[in-house]
Homo-oligomer: A and B are copies of this chain.
Amino acid sequence: MNAPQNVEVPSKLLSRRDLEFMLYEWLDVASLASRARFADHSRDTFDAALDTCERIAEDRFAPHNKKGDQNEPHFDGERVHMIPEVKQALDAFCAAGLMAAGQDYDLGGMQLPTVMEKACFSYFKSANVATSGYPFLTIGNANLLLAHGTREQIDTFVRPMMEGRFFGTMCLSEPQAGSSLSDIKTRAEPQADGTYRLFGNKMWISGGDHELSENIVHLVLAKIPGGPAGVKGISLFIVPRKLVNPDGSLGERNDVALAGLNHKMGYRGTVNTLLNFGEGKFRPGGRPGAVGYLVGEPNKGLACMFHMMNEARIGVGLGATLLGYTGYLHALEYARGRPQGRPLAAKDPTAPQVPIVAHADVRRMLLAQKAYVEGALALNLYCARLVDEEKTAESDDAKRRAHLLLEILTPIAKSWPSQWCLEANSLAIQVHGGYGYTRDYNVEQFYRDNRLNPIHEGTHGIQGLDLLGRKVMMDAGAALQLLGREMLATAKSARETGDAELGRWADALAAAVADVGETTRALWSAGDLERTLANATVYLELFGHVVIAWTWLAQAVVARRAIAEAASDDERFYRGKLQAAKYFFLWELPKTAPQHALLRSLDATCLEMCDEWF
C-alpha cells in the first residue's frame, strides 16, 4: 500500500513519541543537564542526538538488515568477507562520533548520559541488530578498559576504539567451557618484559575476525600457570589482533588465528568465530604465542570482565526489546493494511472486508506485543538511568541505591525481554499469517535473530541462579528490599492520582511485592541449596513479570496525569499506554499466582527426575 501523500510514514524502528514519553515525561532525563558532567546538554542536544541516530539507522543500518541475513559472513581461509554495507554503516556511525557518545570530552566523547546513549542506540538495534553488534561490543570493551586499564592501555587501545579505528571483542567461552568459566584452559605465560603469551581456543567470539577496522582488541580470560584452580585463577588480558607500536602505528600480526565461523539460525550479520590463540600461525617476535597485556591484577580477571558482562547483559536485553519493538510496528502496519474477514456482528459476505486490526484477536496480539516491548523498553531505559545515577548522583547514598537496584535488575533486564520480546516476535508472525512465515517479510528474521538472546551473555538458567542465588540475598537482602520500596512508592503515586483503576493496579503491585518477599523467604527456608536453586528459573520469570508490572504502573501514572490536558494525538497516545498497562495487570501479572504457589511448595519434581527415567 502506498501511504497517502503528505502523510509521514511512521517509522517502523521505534516510536519516537514513546521514546520521548519515557525519557522526558517519566524518567525526567532533561534534569540531568543540571549535573556538572552533562552541563552542556539540554533537551535540545538530546533530541538532536536522537535525530542523528534515527537518520543513520534508517539510512544506513535498516536497508541491509535482510541482505546481511541472506549473505552471512564467510571465511575463505585467509579473510572474512561480508557485504560492503556493513562497513559503510559503521563508518557513518563512527563519523558521527557515536562510538564515544557517552565518553569524556578528553577522549573525544560527547558526555551524553547513559540513558540517552541507550535511547539513541535503540534505533540501531531496531534497524539492524547484527551490524550494531560491532560498535556495542567495542564500546563495552572500551568501558571495561577505562575502568580497569592503565593510562597506557587506554591511550593505546581505547582512543583508537573511540575513533572507530579499532573494534573490540570479549573472549570468555571455550569449546569445553561455556556457562562454566571455571573450566577455561587458555593459559597466559608471563614473559620477562611483563607481557604474557597466550595459548588456547576461544569459542562464540562475536566480531572475532573481520576487515571492518584496522585492528581488533580482544579481551581474553586466561589462566596464569600456578594460579588457583577454578574462577579464582582467571586473569584478564588485552590481546590485539595486530600489535601496536609505541607510536600507535600497527606492527606485526599477533598469534591469533581464525579457526572457523559459526553458522547461526539468526543474528547472522554479526560474525561469530572460533579463535585459536598461540597456535603459531603468526609468530610475533619470531615465536608462537599471542602477546597479551594483563588488565588489572592477576587472578582477578573475572571481576573485571563482569564490568563488560553486566553492560553486555543489559545490552542483550535492549537488543531483544528492540527486535520485539520493530516486529510490533511491522505487525501493526500489516494489521492496518490487510483486509480480511468481517465483524462478527455483520457477516454479510457482499460487504467489503475489514482490515484485520478490526478483529479482537488481532488487537489482542498487538496489545500483548505493545505491553511486552514497551514494558521491556521502560525497564531497559530505567536501568540505563540508574547507570547515570550510579555515576553522577549528588550523594553517595543515591549512588549506592542506584548500584543496588542495577545489581538486582540486571538479570531481569537481560532475561525478561529475551523471553517476552521473542514472544512478541512470534505474535508479529502470527498477525501476518502465512506471509509472516515467508522471507518476503521481515518478521521471521526478527524471530530468528531474537532466539539468540536467551542464550548468550549468560543463559536464562544462569540469570535465574544469579537472581535467586546471589542478587536477592546480597547485603542481607538490601537490593530486594530497596526494589520493594521503590515499587511501593510507585503504587503510592498511582493511588494519589485518584483513579480507581490505577488504585486497583497499585494494590495488585503492592500485593506482588509482599508475595515476592514471602516466596523468597519460603525458597530460602528449605535449608537445601539444591532444592532452592532448582526453582530459580521459575523465580526469575515470576520476578520479571512483577518488575514489568511496576514499569507499567509507573507509565500509567504519568499517562493518567497528562491525559486531562492532552491534545487529541497525545490523548490517544496516553489512552494506549493506559490500555497496555491494563492488559499487563489483568492478563499478565495474574500468571504469577500459580508460580508463587509452586515455588512455595518447594517442588522437587524436576530435581527428583532421574536421567534413566527419560
Q: Which residues of A contact B (CB under 8 A)?
A: 173, 176-180, 182-183, 203-204, 229-231, 262-266, 332, 336, 339-345, 347, 349-350, 353, 357-364, 366-367, 370, 426, 429-430, 433-434, 436-440, 444, 447-448, 451-452, 454-456, 459-461, 464-465, 529-530, 533-534, 536-537, 572-573, 575-576, 579, 582-583, 586-587, 590-591, 593-594, 597-598, 601, 603, 605-614
Q: How far is the CB of A84 from chain B (nearest CB, A)?
A: 24
Which one of A429, A436, A455 has the highest number of Cβ atoms from chain B below 10 Å of its Cβ?
Answer: A455
A438 touches B264 (CB 8 A): yes
A438 touches B265 (CB 8 A): yes
Q: How far is the CA of A573 from the CA of B614 in the complex (A)?
A: 7
Q: Which residue of B lies closest to A607 (CB)?
A: B360
A534 touches B364 (CB 8 A): yes
A179 touches B433 (CB 8 A): yes
List of B residues within 8 angstroms of A605 by Cβ: 367, 579, 582-583, 586-587
Q: How far is the CA of A177 from the CA of B182 in the complex (A)?
A: 57
The majority secondary structure among interface residues of chain A is helix
B361 touches A537 (CB 8 A): yes
Q: How far is the CB of A31 from chain B (nearest CB, A)?
A: 29
A433 touches B341 (CB 8 A): no
Q: How far is the CA of A216 from the CA of B236 in the complex (A)?
A: 64
Given known contacts A179-B340, A367-B609, is B448 in contact with A433 (CB within 8 Å)?
no
A264 touches B437 (CB 8 A): yes
Given known contacts A180-B341, A534-B360, is B447 in contact with A433 (CB within 8 Å)?
no
Q: How far is the CA of A593 from the CA of B262 in the complex (A)?
A: 43
List of B residues within 8 angstroms of A230 by Cβ: 347, 349-350
Given known contacts A361-B461, A430-B460, is B608 in contact with A579 (CB within 8 Å)?
yes
Given known contacts A265-B444, A332-B614, A579-B605, is B534 in contact with A361 (CB within 8 Å)?
yes
Given contacts A265-B437, A591-B591, A593-B594, 6 further A-B contacts (CB under 8 A): A178-B433, A360-B534, A429-B455, A434-B456, A579-B605, A583-B606
Q: How far is the CA of A438 from the CA of B357 in the complex (A)?
A: 36
A370 touches B614 (CB 8 A): yes
Given known contacts A367-B609, A534-B360, A591-B594, is B433 in contact with A451 (CB within 8 Å)?
no
Q: How far is the CB of A374 from chain B (nearest CB, A)?
A: 11
| Set B182, B264, B265, B576: member contacting A613, Cβ < 8 A | B576
A429 touches B456 (CB 8 A): no
| Set B448, B529, B586, B613: member contacting A572, Cβ < 8 A | B613
A533 touches B360 (CB 8 A): yes
How many chain copies does the complex carry? 2
A-B CB proximity, top 4 nearest: A230-B349, A576-B613, A360-B534, A590-B594
A231 touches B349 (CB 8 A): yes
| Set B229, B366, B603: member contacting A349, Cβ < 8 A | B229
A533 touches B344 (CB 8 A): yes
List of B residues within 8 angstroms of A459 by Cβ: 430, 433
B204 touches A434 (CB 8 A): yes
Q: How far is the CA of A341 from the CA of B537 in the complex (A)?
A: 17
B529 touches A579 (CB 8 A): no
List of B residues within 8 angstroms of A579 by Cβ: 605, 608-609, 613
Q: How far is the CB of A511 from chain B (nearest CB, A)?
A: 14
Given known contacts A353-B183, A598-B586, is B360 in contact with A530 (CB within 8 Å)?
yes
Q: How far is the CA of A434 from the CA of B360 in the complex (A)?
A: 38
Given known contacts A180-B341, A349-B182, A590-B594, is B366 in contact with A614 (CB within 8 Å)?
yes
Which one of A343, A447, A451, A576 has the highest number of Cβ atoms from chain B below 10 Å of its Cβ?
Answer: A451
Q: How far is the CA of A64 from the CA of B537 in the complex (A)?
A: 36
Q: Which residue of B lies closest to A434 (CB)?
A: B204
Given known contacts A341-B180, A579-B608, is B447 in contact with A430 (CB within 8 Å)?
no
List of B residues within 8 angstroms of A609 by Cβ: 363, 366-367, 576, 579, 583
B598 touches A587 (CB 8 A): yes
Contact sample, A vs B, 15 pairs, CB 8 Å cutoff: A183-B340, A204-B434, A229-B350, A230-B347, A262-B438, A262-B440, A263-B438, A361-B465, A363-B611, A364-B534, A364-B606, A430-B459, A433-B459, A579-B605, A586-B605
Q: How far is the CA of A97 from the CA of B204 in the complex (A)?
A: 48
Q: How far is the CA of A444 from the CA of B451 in the complex (A)?
A: 10
Which one of A363, A537, A579, A582 has the highest number of Cβ atoms from chain B below 10 Å of its Cβ?
Answer: A363
B455 touches A434 (CB 8 A): yes
Q: How far is the CA of A350 from the CA of B182 in the complex (A)?
A: 9
List of B residues within 8 angstroms of A341 by Cβ: 179-180, 182
A361 touches B572 (CB 8 A): no
A180 touches B340 (CB 8 A): yes
Given known contacts A349-B229, A367-B606, A579-B609, is B434 in contact with A454 (CB within 8 Å)?
no
